[in-house]
Chain A
Amino acid sequence: MGTMNIETAEGRLEALRRMCTIREFDDTASELFADGEIPGFVHLYIGEEAVAVGACSALEDDDYITSTHRGHGHCIAKGLDPERMMAELLGKRDGYCKGKGGSMHIADVDAGMLGANGIVGAGPPLATGAALGIDQRGEDRVALAFFGDGAVAQGQVHEALNLAATWSLPAVFVIENNQFGEGTPVEEQHHLDNLSETAEAYDIPGITVDGMDVTAVNEAVAEARTRARNGDGPTLVEAVTYRYRGHFEGDPQPYRDEEDVEEWRERDPIETFFQRLRDRGEITEEEFEAMRSEVETTVEEAVEYARDAPEPEPEDAYEDMFADPAPEIAQFAERLRADGGERGGDR
């Protein structure tokens, strides 16, 4: 729906394009990280593209989402601009958070993106809060929380589910079960075969779908959205998927073999969706190649944009602490000018 209505051929091609964009964006982020251009920690979404795109294609543009530490895919699926995302990854001033948030904290309230989140399980309560606001104002929107299988062990996820269920809020909860909570397999972290069974505890609908299939995710979330809009409360959707990369870039991954990854790659969400569209005569091999090379250009341009963007100024450290500027900004800037910026300092 919105700009990506998967029920139309045009919308399906847009969904395919966004999945390719996510893949290309994160492949590039992986290279930039390896080259030292992106410092810190980067968690990639490669392999899980059908979940973000399937879910967001069931949302309207003004619906809200919350994201995770592995959030690039959610951002692109929700329609955020790869240029400003890449600038944020590189810590530049033109990034979505002025280069102060980085890979794990991209947010854009205007796009209904309430934030990637460095804390596992911190997103669902925020979605519940947005859903409460929507409910009280009587708006025609929903709030959707993406979170991982690991987060299902966090207390605040359950508090969010309980509140949303008890108050019958227009919320949708999407578990991305990528088989690992960091480096520990899902079955060693949970007693349930299907994490969607968690829904039974809150007497809300729970469903497990193939998270490698963008249309399966779309259908489940579309149904959940309708339910939410009809005043019938939240739904818990578990999308079963797979994380091709490590928990973070540089993760030695002693917990799995390359063959496990290869097995899942055979059901690659982009490849299988393309084949389906090709078989339906909606796209040719040549057109797909062209789409991929357009996406490459988009991401290359994003990297160029990010590289050319300015670094934050030292006094930006004090900016946006409160609505009123912190008095330290003036002191800090004065001192920096006095010593040519060498020493930092806040006296």
Chain B
Amino acid sequence: MSAQNLTLVQAVRDGLHTEMQNDEDVIVLGEDVGKNGGVFRATEGLYDEFGGDRVVDTPLAEAGIVGTSIGMAAYGLRPVPEIQFMGFIYPAFDQIISHAARLRTRSRGRFTCPMVVRAPYGGGIRAPEHHSESKEAFFVHEPGLKVVIPSTPYDTKGLLISAVRDPDPVVFLEPKLIYRAFREEVPDEEYTVPLGEAAVRREGGDVSVFTWGAMTRVTMEAAENLAAEGVDCEVVDLRTLSPLDRDAVVESFRKTGRAAVVHEAPKTGGLAGELTAIVQEEALLYQEAPVERITGFDTPYPLYALEDYYLPSVARIEDGIRNVVEY
């Protein structure tokens, strides 16, 4: 089996390319995705290979891009709209929430919305607010949407292919901080990574640490540092945030009895609260310490001078995990 060493953003491109070859109904659209290959180069070369009917440059109109995609999906195509930054998605929020998420149930299954909205999310690139935010919880809160966040190039391609083939709408959030941070072997062939399944990145018996996306790497680094102190972390990368892999969460927590959650989104209303509730509901009698939430602040994403404080750092994650273990 042939493979290439790809970055995460190259794996996005590879996944799109694979599905565009497989299925002529797959159509990419968005701002500068065609001739320019996307602001992050995620669609590089696709316009030349598949032409302007399948890789569509749109005006700056997010509500129009997503709304049109929903119509395309209802018609029978498989649109993959790109929103340039997650913080630009709000003009399209109404279309995603009021229509994409509800088309199937509203029409009692007669209409479906097989659409993947791709958007780079998250901080660490020294840009303010809309260019750095991480608001996955908005979409997880809406029934009828699937929400996926990969953390490795291999998973990116496999999850993206699954998302494109999924019969329902998927919000596919890409951790732009690690778009080019490292490479990994990615098979040239098509393969899928199933939606809704978490991955245990590091097995351990002392404490479960749940995370996703760009935070997975810093969490792994913290876990290795703590191993030197004799704290054995189990790191679970959730990969899909909706539907959540409750079984994986509960199984890990039953083993360790202690948990921390690391996410860069603000704390209040973030997914860490939901994960805490899951372990309370399903494994209360195993619980030996409060769940620690290691998160961004309840503020708009700050400019660079304060960004290093806002984002969970290796040191802050270590501290949080120590709190749980030493409780």
Contacts and interface: CB of A to CB of B under 8 A. Distances in A.
Interface of A: 39-41, 91-92, 99-102, 104-105, 118-121, 150-151, 153-156, 181-184, 188-190, 254-255, 311-312, 314, 316-318, 321, 326, 328, 342-347
Interface of B: 31-32, 35-37, 39, 57-61, 63-64, 87-88, 90-91, 125-131, 267, 295, 297-299, 302-306, 308-310, 313, 315-316, 319-320, 323
Which of A311, A316, A347 counts the most chain B CB atoms within 10 A?
A347
Contacts of A182: 31-32, 39, 60
Contacts of A184: 31-32, 35-36, 57, 59
B316 A314 contact: no
Given A91-B304, A150-B60, A345 B316 contact: yes
Nearest to B298: A328
Contacts of B129: 105, 118
Contact of B316 (A39, A91, A328, A344): A344
Contacts of A343: 313, 315-316, 319
Given A101-B128, A314-B309, A317-B309, A40 B60 contact: no
Contacts of B298: 321, 326, 328, 346
A92 B304 CA distance: 10
Given A155-B63, A182-B60, A328-B297, A100 B87 contact: no
Contacts of A316: 306
Nearest to A122: B91
A40 B132 CA distance: 10
Contacts of A321: 298-299
9 contacts: A39-B127, A100-B306, A153-B59, A155-B61, A181-B31, A189-B58, A328-B298, A345-B319, A347-B323
Contacts of A344: 308-310, 313, 316
Nearest to B34: A184
A342 B315 contact: yes
Given A189-B60, A314-B306, 17 more contacts: A40-B125, A41-B127, A91-B305, A150-B60, A151-B60, A153-B60, A153-B61, A182-B32, A184-B59, A189-B58, A190-B59, A254-B37, A344-B308, A344-B310, A345-B309, A345-B316, A345-B319
Given A40-B128, A118-B128, A99 B35 contact: no
Contact of A104 (B35, B57, B128): B128
A317 B130 contact: no
A218 to B, nearest CB: 28
A40 B126 contact: yes
Nearest to B308: A344
Contacts, number: 125
A40 B298 CA distance: 22
Q: Do most interface residues of chain A lie in helix, strand or loop, or is the interface mixed?
A: loop
Contact of A40 (B57, B91, B131, B315): B131
A147 to B, nearest CB: 11
A347 to B, nearest CB: 8
B42 to A, nearest CB: 14
Contacts of B302: 100, 317
Given A182-B31, A314-B306, A41 B297 contact: no
B71 to A, nearest CB: 16
B263 to A, nearest CB: 13
Given A321-B299, A344-B316, A102 B128 contact: yes
A91 B126 CA distance: 10
Contacts of B32: 182-184
A39 B126 contact: yes
A317 B304 contact: no
Given A182-B39, A255-B36, A318-B297, A154 B303 contact: no
Nearest to A104: B128
A328 B268 CA distance: 12
A154 B31 contact: no
Nearest to A99: B305
A151 to B, nearest CB: 7
Which of B31, B59, B316 counts the most chain A CB atoms within 10 A?
B59
B297 A346 contact: yes
A139 B327 CA distance: 63
B46 to A, nearest CB: 14
A17 B91 CA distance: 39
A327 B306 CA distance: 18
The 8 closest A-B pairs by CB, nearest first: A39-B126, A153-B59, A344-B309, A40-B127, A189-B59, A150-B60, A183-B36, A153-B61
A312 B36 contact: no
Nearest to B36: A183
Contact of B303 (A100, A121, A155, A314): A100
Given A91-B304, A121-B60, A343-B316, A41 B310 contact: no
Contacts of B308: 344
A181 B87 contact: no
A150 B303 CA distance: 25
A40 B36 contact: no
B304 A181 contact: no
Contacts of A39: 126-127, 304
A312 B315 contact: no
A155 B36 contact: no
Contact of A154 (B36, B60, B316): B60
A184 B36 CA distance: 8
Contacts of B35: 183-184, 254-255
A105 B313 CA distance: 27
Contact of A91 (B87, B90, B295, B303): B303
A39 B125 CA distance: 8
Contacts of B295: 346
Contacts of B320: 347
Contacts of B131: 40-41, 118
A155 B64 contact: yes
Nearest to A152: B59
A91 to B, nearest CB: 4
